[in-house]
Structure 1
Amino acid sequence: MEAIPLHSKTVILDHHPDDAYNNVKWKVDADYSRIFVIRTFVVHPSFLKIGIGRALMDYSLKLAQQSGLKFIRLDVYENNFPAISLYERCGFEYIDTVDLGLGNYGLDWFKLYEKVI
């Protein structure tokens, strides 16, 4: 099997949510020191549908568990159906839809998801 180039995939996790996260009723009320926020989750289009997204998500969940974290949250553009499908297959639950202030870029609404680990 051919190796997947490192630049074909990216995930960035931190503990700093967008401000819009603060106005949402999450399923679990916890301090962000106990929560990973997926800030960036990207798979290059040339590598879609071969399990890279699932592998990145599995890695993120494993890292959260190893770090003693109990929750992961993320936002996704409302029309990014492939990503939404992946997140839901991975057990993330839809929480709310918010404006992240990216309307100038044609990205008006984002869905928020949460997963208890």
Structure 2
Amino acid sequence: MKLRIEGECRMIISQIEMNDYPAVLALFKAVKTELGKHNNDQWKWIYPNRFTHKTDIGNGAMYGLKEGGALLAVVTVDSLQNRKYEHFPWKDRSGRSACIQRLAVHPREQGRGLGKKLLHYAEQTAISQGFTSIRIEVYETNASAIALYDKNGYEHVGEVRYPMRKSAYITMEKQLNG
């Protein structure tokens, strides 16, 4: 599904292909560098990595927002869930839950509402694939990402901790079927 953004004649959201891989690597390098400047250890050299990106692209699960051919932001929409999620009090227990993974906006493009555009695209993609809710985990020190999800109807469910991370990840859910 390709989407041309209204009022943005050169802005398109579409599935990322392997020929976009160098641009994906450059985008994540810029994001990781920016996070490091703010002492945010959310994404380090170990994750996300080249294998993660190639898998997302190969599975057809990574989508990107481009303007004039330049990759500005990406998101992965899939159904891969952490086993730690099993005991969380999710509202959607009988439907199919998608997961948003690795939503990233290039630092020089932040503040333009691109994350929100990509989030809405991810939700529509999930709906079109028959999912009834979306789950996500957000690093608790990433206040802007948490605010984005809060403003867009995501509810806090729990938290997950990972090795080599100072802070926890907040798990969130949004019902897509009403």
TM-score by length of 2: 0.58
Distance 1:37 1:85 in 2: 18
- Match in the other structure for 2:78: 14
Root-mean-square deviation (CA), in Å? 1.7
Superposed, 1:14-33 pairs within 5 Å as 14-30=78-94
Deviations along 1:40-93, whole A, 9 cap, x unmatched?
111111111101001101101111121221100000000100000001111111
The answer to whether 1:91 aligns with 2:153 is yes
Question: What's the % identity of the aligned pairs?
Answer: 29
- Within 5 Å, give how 1:35-74 maps onto structure 2: 35-74=97-136
For 1:41 and 1:30, locate their aligned partners in 2 and report how far apart those are by CA, in whole Å: 26
Q: Which runs of 5+ in 1 are unaligned?
A: none
Structure 1 residues 12 and 45, CA gap change in structure 2 (3 angstroms):
same
Q: Is residue 73–residue 114 contact of structure 1 (8 Å, CA) maintained in 2?
A: yes
**In 1: Cα distance, 2:138 partner to 2:92 partner:** 19
Match of 1:111 among 170, 173, 177: 170
Corresponding residue SS for 1:64: helix
Q: CA–CA distance in 2 between the matches of 1:68 and 1:38? A: 15
Residue 76 of structure 2 aligns with an amino acid whose one-letter code is I
Q: How many residues align?
A: 111
Q: Which runs of 4+ in 1 moved over 4 A?
A: none
